[in-house]
Structure 1
């Protein structure tokens, strides 16, 4: 005969079934969690950079490659084809104004200078000779004039005597006519001699003027040769750093070839180079941030060079601290040219996840996962980028490289 089951047994059975159900549910949840970990990819939080959207200011900048150059620099070139006779300095040393750097061979210039001086002496002698000849001719003509004046007085007296005698019938008309013609002849000869003096004076003055003109030409040529002779002694145009020098004694140099370059010490600017694609966005006076090894120097665009070479444009940047002790000649720097400034906008740290302006995908981090969304990005200064749409203050996004999971819609962020 059947017996009734005890209450304790029923209670134990009920507890067993409840425990079994709980364990079964836990097993199902654990399996789902394991499958989710296998199917859904994850990335460790330490392997990505996450930044938060916040309010801030951003500058729209154009990045350019810059080189530090001296504000004041002068080159010294060879005055003519020559060779290096002697070198007195070395590149890299500090020099004072007027200090001798090198000497060029000056033999040809000295020979040319001596030849010009000889020609000038010849012209001096020619001018002196012309003056002496003019004085001699003047004396000869003056003597002839004096004699003609005496002859004229005598012929006039004879003419007057013949006129009186003709009135008395003591001389013939032929004798009177002859005496009158003699007077006219003497007057003509006297006038010709006086005109000859003026003609001789003008001719001699013209020859002397031509000789003096040749003298002036020779003097200019001599001055030029003396200038070239002085330039064979190459000296520092001002105190500074000798940045380049032709050091090989005996080396040939062509006319106009650079033989030395002197740069001003501790006074620099930046020469920036960038693509001509940005040419229309550039203007004189724009702020520029010059960066080198983490140090930032402020400056402004001074000059935009008009020539475009190989698709690039150059501009000169004046620095607020041109005497900064960390600057060195030919040092390479980054020049960020500020074309626009925006304040109190949404910004996020810049990173490899972003590529320029416009709408682009980004991974928003929330509740241990990153889900793909679209951000509308605007201006960027290389450090932060403007978020024009698609996010709110406090939203967090992966800003490091996301190319490894760019095809996924979401990923887990594991600790």
Structure 2
């Protein structure tokens, strides 16, 4: 005969069965989770760089290396082929405007100056001699003219008397003709003497003008030689720093050879160098950010130099603060040339995970899992990148190198 089971016992058995099933399910889940953690790759959050997507403004920049150079620098060259006679200064010292830096041997110039002075004296003597000669000839011809004028008067009087006597039959026709010829001959002689005065004056004046022209040429040559003589005293063109000097006494120097370089102090600009790949994106007037340590100085592209050497293009940058205390000659700086500016866009810190513009696979962290997501990357200023699509403000991105996980769609991020 069957025994009736107590309902309480049946309920307890059902409860135990349910608990056993739940325990088994929990055990299986825990085992699966443990296996998943053991098999799935993970990354320690402290060993990667994670950036938060945020809103802001960005300037697209081209990075270049730069070197600080003086705004005003003057090169002093030798005016002649000579040698260094005496050195008065040392490279690196501050100099005053007009301060004597070195002396060049000037003996050849001094000899040339002496020779020119002798030639000038000869020309001056020639001009004086020609002037005196002209005056003397003029006086002689003037006296001769005065005598001829008296003779002309006398012959005319005689001719008039003969003409009167001829009417009365007192003189012969031959005597009258002779008197007429004497008047004409005297008139011709008088005209010739007057022409001689004018001709002599023209010839002498021409000779004097030639001598004066030669004198003027010699004076210019003398002035040039005197300027060269002054340039053999090599002086600082302005107050500044003597950055280079040919300080070897007795050294030979050729014409035009550099002997000194003086740079202006506390007034600088930047010479930047970058790959010619960016040449088409560069233009005068572009804004520039110059960085040295924590100091940032604003500037502007002054000139893009036309020549390209070894795949490198150079440009000159003027600074808004050319007298800044951090600036010094030959200081190396980082130059960021701003080619584009955007406002109210999504940004993230720059890192090795980004590679230029365009679509890129970046790991986006949500709920402890970094999932590979395609982001469209825009402008970059070397510090930040613009995110055009694929993420929203507040998202966290792994910006360090994730190339080891390139074949994974997701990675756990361990805190």
Same fold (TM over 0.5): yes
Answering whether residue 327 of structure 2 is matched by residue 327 of structure 1, we say: yes
Specify every segment of 5 or more residues in structure 1 that has no aligned partner in the other structure, as ranges.
Answer: none
Greater CA deviation, 274-283 or 228-237? 274-283
Aligned to 2:278: 278
- By how many angstroms is 1:294 displaced? 2.5
TM-score by length of 2: 0.92
Aligned to 1:412: 412
Secondary structure at 1:114 match in 2: helix
Greater CA deviation, 271-280 or 22-31? 22-31
Give the distance between the partners of 1:225 and 1:56, measured in 2 at CA. 67
Give the distance between the partners of 2:280 and 2:116, measured in 1 at CA. 57
Aligned to 2:159: 159
Greater CA deviation, 13-22 or 74-83? 13-22
- By how many angstroms is 1:101 displaced? 0.7
Query: Which deviations, in whole Å up to 9, do the C-alpha atoms of 1:375-411 show, x marking residues without a partner?
Result: 0011111111111000111111101111222222222
Aligned to 2:268: 268
Aligned to 1:255: 255
Aligned to 2:349: 349
Greater CA deviation, 246-255 or 204-213? 246-255
Query: Which deviations, in whole Å up to 9, do the C-alpha atoms of 1:229-287 show, x marking residues without a partner?
Result: 00011111111111111111111222112211111111111122233443443343332
Secondary structure at 1:85 match in 2: strand
When the two chains are superposed, the root-mean-square deviation of aligned CA atoms in Å is 2.6
Query: Which deviations, in whole Å up to 9, do the C-alpha atoms of 1:141-189 show, x marking residues without a partner?
Result: 1222222222222222221222122112122111111110111011001
Secondary structure at 1:326 match in 2: coil
Give the distance between the partners of 1:217 and 1:91, measured in 2 at CA. 40
Query: Which deviations, in whole Å up to 9, do the C-alpha atoms of 1:202-230 show, x marking residues without a partner?
Result: 10000000000010010011011000000
Answering whether residue 99 of structure 2 is matched by residue 76 of structure 1, we say: no
Aligned to 1:36: 36
Aligned to 1:150: 150
Report 1:157-236 matches (<5 A): 157-236=157-236
Aligned to 2:126: 126
Secondary structure at 1:171 match in 2: coil
Query: Which deviations, in whole Å up to 9, do the C-alpha atoms of 1:81-108 show, x marking residues without a partner?
Result: 1211111111111111111111111111
Secondary structure at 2:138 match in 1: helix
Paired residue total: 413
Give the distance between the partners of 2:156 and 2:224, measured in 1 at CA. 64
- By how many angstroms is 1:314 displaced? 2.8
Secondary structure at 1:122 match in 2: helix
Give the distance between the partners of 2:293 and 2:122, measured in 1 at CA. 70
Greater CA deviation, 118-127 or 157-166? 157-166
Query: Which deviations, in whole Å up to 9, do the C-alpha atoms of 1:288-309 show, x marking residues without a partner?
Result: 1100122211122233334444
Give the distance between the partners of 2:173 and 2:404, measured in 1 at CA. 142
Answering whether residue 87 of structure 2 is matched by residue 87 of structure 1, we say: yes
